[in-house]
Amino acid sequence: MSRRPDPLAQVSDFDIRLLKIYRSVVECGGFSAAENVLGIGRSAISQQMKDLEQRLGLRLCQRGRAGFSLTEEGREVYQSALQLLGALETFRTEVNGLHQHLRGELNIGLTDNLVTLPHMRITHALAQLKDRGPDVRIQIRMIAPSQVEQGVLDGSLHIGVVPQTTPLPGLDYQPLYSERSLLYCAVGHPLFYAEDARIDDQRLDSQDAIAPTFRLPAEVQACYQALHCTASASDREGMAFLILTGRYIGYLPDHYASFWVQQGRLRALKPQQRFHDLSLSWVTRKGRRPNLVLESFIDSLATTR
């Protein structure tokens, strides 16, 4: 019996192009949403996806009236594609580095809701990178801290920003920010108009509260363990959604909550006692290869205040 040849025994430029289109389709959540990003029509995208599925011999996604969704094989191909395309960009950046010319991609993974921090070190560093390398393509992914760390480990991300907790082997953490989180409730909550002096700890700790599902230092986790957590969220925006219902209390960074505080929709509960400080770090892979774009960005992060 003859052995069936591997679908991608050799990866061509055409295959790389199809995988880049597939990455955009997945990250946009479907063919229609990807049209503007890719600059091609839905029918052309559909044909490209059929070509990729045929070349791989796998069904990657379901599409139709029920909407767009990835198959299990499609999710695995997406993760492999991120690693492959990240490796290609690393190679391109290294070769360009030989010419001391900033070109290529910078793939960044960020914990959500850092943009409201007043000192904006990430924003200023991105601006400096763009000034130094106008042709550099910057891609930002807003994902959970664990996904940021995994992306840096597997090479699909060059750098990430995460809460500083127990370091993972293979990653290098450098301090970036420190932020303070206060305990908030929203309009409609029984404690919203209560005076802090009249709110005892027992009453406060009996309220329905929200716990994060991402990794945090032990001293921060202790703040949540004191609460009656009946809901959870994978990120700070999810926590804000639940707090704003007026049915839960929860911790939010003060810089992030300030918009709703100024509108009179949120208030901090006993802010002198109920708070925690969290350090955020930028994270890169240990033993990484020289990458001129990444090093330029890191240099800007280190010098921007």
Confidence band of 1 (pLDDT split at 50, 70, 90): very low
pLDDT of residue 290: 76
3-state DSSP assignment of residue 135 = coil
CB atoms within 10 A of CB 137: 12
The mean predicted confidence, pLDDT, of the chain is 87
DSSP 3-state of 210: strand
User: Of 271 and 16, which is predicted with more confidence?
Assistant: 271
Which tokens in the block code for residue 114?
């850092």
Q: What average pLDDT does this structure show over 198-219?
A: 91
The DSSP secondary-structure symbol of 133 reads -
Q: Which domains, from first to last, does the chain contain?
A: 13-80 (1.10.10.10), 102-304 (3.40.190.290)
Give the confidence band of 273 by pLDDT, cuts at 50, 70, 90. very high
Band of residue 101 on the pLDDT scale cut at 50, 70, 90: low
Residue 157: partners with Cβ closer than 8 Å, 6 or more residues away: 86, 107, 108, 109, 141, 148, 151
- CA-CA distance, 110 to 177, in Å (whole number)? 13
Q: Which pLDDT value is given to residue 132?
A: 87
CA distances from 173 to 162, 167, 258, 281 (A): 9, 7, 28, 6
Tell me if 248 sits within 8 A of 209, measured CB to CB. Answer: yes
Compute the distance between CA of residue 287 and CA of residue 14 in angstroms, rounded to an integer. 32
* Count of residues in the chain: 305
